[in-house]
Amino acid sequence: MEVERDDEWASDEFGDTLVGPRDHHPRTVESVRSRFARFLGALAHERVSNRGADGELVTGWWLGRLPDGWHVLNDVPVGESGANIEHLVIGPRGTFTITTKNLTGKVWVGPKSVLHNRRRTDFLPKASAEARLASRLLSSAVGRPVEVRGVLAILCDDWTVKQRPADVYVDATRGVKDWMLRQPTVLRAEEVIELAVAASKPGTWFGPRLDAR
């Protein structure tokens, strides 16, 4: 499906690359195998096995292994404060914001909290708030309610999962990908494209919608 050119798409530095290469033809929405995923393909095997690998890089590599029909924006800037959404995933199974953490030591997951080396973190409320923000901005952009699920993708040395939270899914990076693929289908192909196009436009993430409550 072709998408008409939009001046807001002028910069290839926005997020990652749901839009195709700059040329004289209308831009098209690409699958998750974007420039980012292709670049990662050359590095992934070595980086994934490295304990110090960057969490976003590893998560981006796993997201790059999603099947056709899924779309990803990486490092999406939101507003003027320097905030960003690390990974926004849109596919037949829904829309997800994914926050990555690369931690040493032990992680404990309960229904309302995540502990790192026995210390309470703010991971869950932040992931939940990010999903709500993305839901509000995407809903405003397309003119209808858009449900967004918050996800935490954590790399760590040791896991204890007592009970996963109800509103934020928590797992390792590969587990996150597999979990998304197991979700029921909730979006038609045309709805996926509509949301992917809206998400790829900077105007969705900046402007008056951001300040509305």
Number of domain units in the chain:
1
Identify the CA nearest to 130 among candidates 93, 166, 84: 84
Q: How far apart are the first and last CA of the chain?
A: 34
| pLDDT at residue number 55 | 58
Interval 122-165: pLDDT, tens: 999 999 999 999 999 999 999 999 999 999 999 888 989 999 99
Structural domain contains residue 213: no
Structural domain contains residue 140: yes
Q: What is the pTM of this model?
A: 0.74
Tokens of 128: 């939940």
Structural domain contains residue 192: yes
| pLDDT at residue number 7 | 40
Q: How far apart are CA 190 and CA 188, in angstroms?
A: 5
Residues in the chain: 213
| pLDDT at residue number 11 | 38
Residue with tokens 């029909």: 69
What is the residue range of 15's domain?
Answer: 7-204
| E strands in the chain | 71-78, 83-91, 94-102, 106-109, 114-116, 119-120, 148-155, 158-161, 168-171
Structural domain contains residue 68: yes
Q: What is the pLDDT along the chain (213 residues), one digit of tens a residue?
A: 433 334 443 333 445 444 333 333 333 444 433 433 433 333 334 334 444 346 566 666 667 778 899 998 988 999 887 789 999 999 999 999 999 998 999 999 999 999 999 999 999 999 999 999 999 999 999 999 999 999 999 988 898 999 999 999 999 888 999 999 999 999 999 999 999 999 999 999 986 555 444
Tokens of 187: 């979006």
